[in-house]
A and B are shown apart, each in its own frame.
Chain A
Amino acid sequence: MTITINGQQRRIEESTTLADVLEEFGTPARGVAVAVDGAVVPRASWPRTQLRPEATVEILTAVQGG
Chain B
Amino acid sequence: MSGDETRVTLPPLVEPAAELTKDEVARYSRHLIIPDVGMEGQKRLKNAKVLVIGAGGLGSPALLYLAAAGVGTLGIVEFDAVDESNLHRQIIHGQSDLNRSKGESAKDSIAEVNPLVQVNLHETHLTSENALDIFRDYDLILDGTDNFATRYLVNDAAVLLGKPYVWGSIFRFEGQASVFWDAHGPNYRDLYPEPPPPGMVPSCAEGGVLGVLCASIGSIMVNEAIKLIVGIGETLLGRLMIYDALEMSYRTVKIRKDPSADEVTELIDYETFCGVVSDDAQQAAAGSTITPRELKDKFDSGEKFELVDVREPHEYEIVKIDGSTLIPKDRILSGEALAELPQDRQIVLHCKTGGRSAEALSALHNAGFSNAVHVGGGVTGWANEIDQSLPTY
Contact = CB atoms under 8 A, between A and B. Distances in A.
A64 B203 contact: yes
A40 B256 contact: yes
Interface residues of B, number: 45
A66 B190 CA distance: 20
Given A64-B203, A65-B204, A40 B209 contact: no
Given A30-B195, A31-B200, A64 B260 contact: no
Contacts of A1: none
B204 to A, nearest CB: 4
B79 to A, nearest CB: 14
A12 interface: no
Q: Which of A43, A45, A58, A66 has the most CB of B within 10 A?
A: A66
B190 A42 contact: yes
A66 to B, nearest CB: 4
The B contact surface, by secondary structure, is loop
A60 B244 CA distance: 12
Interface string A39-66: 1101111000000000000101111111
B240 interface: yes
Contacts of B197: 28, 30-31
Given A31-B192, A65-B57, A66-B170, A38 B254 contact: yes
A60 B242 CA distance: 9
A63 B253 contact: no
Q: Which of A30, A61, A64 has the most CB of B within 10 A?
A: A64
Contact of B253 (A40, A42, A44): A40
A39 B254 contact: yes
Contacts of A43: 193, 258
Contacts of A38: 1, 3, 252-254
Interface stretch (B67-75, B122-130, B146-154, B302-310): B146-154
A31 B195 contact: yes
Contact of B201 (A39, A44, A63): A63
Interface of A: 28, 30-33, 35, 38-40, 42-45, 58, 60-66
Given A39-B254, A64-B146, A65-B171, 13 more contacts: A30-B194, A35-B254, A39-B3, A40-B255, A44-B260, A60-B240, A62-B196, A63-B174, A65-B169, A65-B170, A66-B54, A66-B58, A66-B145
